[in-house]
Amino acid sequence: MSKPKVFVTRRILEPAMKMVLESCQVDLWPDEIPPSHEIILKRVRGVNGLLCLLTDRVDAAVMDAAGPGLKVVSNCAVGVDNVDVPAATARGIPVGNTPGVLTDATADFTFALLMAAARRVVEGERQVRSGGWKSWGLDYMLGADFAGATLGLVGFGRIGRAVARRAAGFGMRIIFSDPNPAAPEPGVDAAQVDFDTLLRESDFISLHTPLNDETRGLMNAAAFAKMKPTSVLVNTSRGPVVDQSALYDALHSKRIFAAALDVTVPEPLPTDSPLLTLDNCIVVPHIASASWQTRQKMSRMAAENLIAGLKGEHLPNCVNLEVYKK
């Protein structure tokens, strides 16, 4: 029996890539730069499976270009905002993602960004390199303390809760806003508040929400106006949750103290972005989950979802379980 045909939009890590190569006829996009939407439309023709990354837009047109033989879309990410999930559901196509395995890596990195922004690590390092460091000074490079400060988590799912666990160890007060929160971990004291209270009371705000119609542009000028002037914003969720032009104004005018972004609009962020002119803004290239172990686990989950879907089995991690109820 011939192996199922799949388009893989970027090489995944071993041993997962080998698993896919062994069970499928693979068309593997070889470049580091993602295939364009036009290329995806061409390469998916007649495939049974698509293994994609968060950089690939997988919309109804892609599913239709693949044709009726398409049995699975496996996204190698926990976020699936790049996939038109309702369109997949309407076509009976299960969509896989990679939840859980990147929780700790992302929470660790969130803390790295919170600390780097609050304690001006990147700005300080730039001063050393540029010769701006003249002397130790009592009021030189002052930043914010963590102990006793309030951390506001927007989104209290797996990653939000993992950040809360870390924050508890730093002696922070934790509040969160979430329309459908998971229960806090035992031993972690976190209080649910409304979004406005979170904006007003937090010294640090960290975003852990999926991107959807409710969260797009959530951090806008009105939100920044409610934040403390000493507050720090970190975004490791999705770029469009933050209105970047409003963020620029808030940082430039010192309406808020600092921000650190792992995610931006667009990605990569152009080097002439106004945000990159600011000392109080750190931007890193969407690497919160980028540890060797985590990316290997994500790759394996994506391969397992793909292979299960091709066999007609339930995906181990499926975001549109409705497809199995039809």
What residues make contact with ligand DGY under the rule CB under 6 A?
Answer: 54, 77-79, 102, 288-289
Q: Which is nearer to ligand DGY, 166 or 173 (CB)?
A: 166
Q: Is 304 a catalytic residue?
A: no
Q: Which is nearer to ligand DGY, 33 or 128 (CB)?
A: 33
List the structure tokens of 83: 């996939």
Question: Distances in Å between the alpha carbon of 223 and those of 10, 116, 255, 307, 311?
Answer: 37, 23, 11, 44, 47
Q: How many CB atoms lie within 10 A of CB 223?
A: 23
Work out how close the CB of 291 gets to ligand DGY at its nearest, in angstroms, rounded to a whole number. Answer: 10
Work out how close the CB of 99 gets to ligand DGY at its nearest, in angstroms, rounded to a whole number. Answer: 9
Beta carbons of 176 and 156 less than 8 angstroms apart: yes
Work out how close the CB of 285 gets to ligand DGY at its nearest, in angstroms, rounded to a whole number. Answer: 11
Which position among 43, 238, 295, 300 bears the catalytic label? Answer: 238
125 contacts: CB under 8 Å, gap ≥ 6: none
Distance CA 73, CA 63 (A): 9
Which position among 14, 22, 267, 313 bears the catalytic label? Answer: 267
Distance CA 237, CA 81 (A): 11
Q: Which is nearer to ligand DGY, 207 or 256 (CB)?
A: 207
Strands of 5-8's sheet in order across: 25-28, 5-8, 49-52, 72-75, 95-96
User: What values do phi and psi take at 288, rounded to 5?
Assistant: -60, -30
Cis amide bond preceding 268, omega within 30: yes
Q: Which is nearer to ligand DGY, 119 or 238 (CB)?
A: 238
Q: Is 286 a catalytic residue?
A: yes
Which position among 286, 295, 300, 304 bears the catalytic label? Answer: 286
What single letter denotes the amino acid at residue 218?
Answer: L
28 in helix, strand or coil?
A: strand
Work out how close the CB of 10 gets to ligand DGY at its nearest, in angstroms, rounded to a whole number. Answer: 13
Q: Which is nearer to ligand DGY, 106 or 177 (CB)?
A: 106
Q: Is 119 a catalytic residue?
A: no
Work out how close the CB of 78 gets to ligand DGY at its nearest, in angstroms, rounded to a whole number. Answer: 4
What amino acid positions are annotated as catalytic residues? 238, 267, 286
